[in-house]
Structure 1
Amino acid sequence: MRRFAAVSGASVGAERLWMGQTHVAPATSSGDHHHGDSETAIYVVSGRPEFVFLREDGAEERIRTAPGDYVFIPPFVPHREENPDGEEAVVVIARSTQEAIVVNLPALYVHRPQG
């Protein structure tokens, strides 16, 4: 996966926003991760990437997308991106923090908020 920052603290001095593109090669999967306290919005430009989470019962939930689709990932929610297709997938990502936070995890787990 290749990430390209477009709007960030480093590129334009943004204080509460990060925006950029991710290119996902065919037959590729990210590692399991979350984006800290950042809200993440994803717009699918091309390809058919998939986003994998765990449901409360421990089963995988898979969101299959196509160009023009939007996906929202709440803060601290573990997930991974996959591109099972034979073509590169390109997505635009916006996050509510000035830089791209990626916290790698050893495995997916069910997110249980404190409180």
Structure 2
Amino acid sequence: MDKEGASLRTCKIVRGGEAFRGKQGLDYFAGISAESAGSEALCMHLVILPPGAKARPHYHESHESAVFVLEGVAEFLHGPNLEHRERVEAGDFIYIPAGVPHQPCNPTGRTVRALIARTDPNEQESVVVLD
């Protein structure tokens, strides 16, 4: 893109995004997305897992995800049959390839907060919930 094309675009600040319940069964706090900022290729939200919370098993069709755990300790199940179980904690990064089933869980008594980024700019467009 040339300078002239770039000057037609503007930066956006999204303050304190509103909460929404995702298809996965968790509460997300809207950050950057096509809906909030006009993003064309990425989405970034805050997710909170209260004590005992468990997402519905799911995957993101055709889109990669990255997670940074800000606070707490969680379990992360992943793989075709959710056969892999990992412990993740504050400071850990998680990479999730497109199409890989996964399920975050909080088996602890403390809240977990994580920042999530996806290459799908839509807040929930590519989420496929598994039975």
- Give your verdict on TM over 0.5: yes
Q: 1:42 maps to which residue?
A: 67
How big is the shift at 1:53? 1.5
Alignment pair present for 1:93 and 2:116: yes
Distance 1:102 1:82, change over 3 A: same
Query: CA separation in 2, counterparts of 1:59 and 1:51?
Result: 9
5+ residue gaps in structure 1? 107-115
Distance in 2 (CA, whole Å) between partners of 1:95 and 1:10 is 14
Q: Following the alignment from structure 1 to structure 2, what is the Cα–Cα distance between the partners of residues 14 and 30?
A: 25
Q: Which runs of 5+ in 2 are unaligned?
A: 1-25
Secondary structure of the corresponding residue to residue 73 of structure 2: coil
Q: Is the 8 A contact 1:40 1:96 kept in 2?
A: yes
**Contact persistence 2:45–2:116 (CA under 8 A):** yes
- Counterpart of 1:18 (choices 30, 33, 43) is 43
> Partner of 1:63 in structure 2?
86
Partner of 2:12: none
Indicate yes or no: 2:6 matched with 1:7.
no
Q: RMSD of the TM alignment (CA)?
A: 1.4
- Deviation of 1:54 after TM superposition, in Å, equals 3.2
Aligned residues: 104
**Structure 2 vs 1, CA of residues 40 and 59 (structure 1 numbering), >3 Å: closer, same or farther?**
closer
**Which structure exhibits the higher relative contact order, with contacts defined as CA atoms closer than 8 Å and separated by 6 or more residues?**
1
SS of equivalent residue, structure 1 residue 29: coil
Identity %, equivalent residues:
35
Structure 1 residue 59: Cα displacement: 7.3
Match of 1:28 in 2: 53
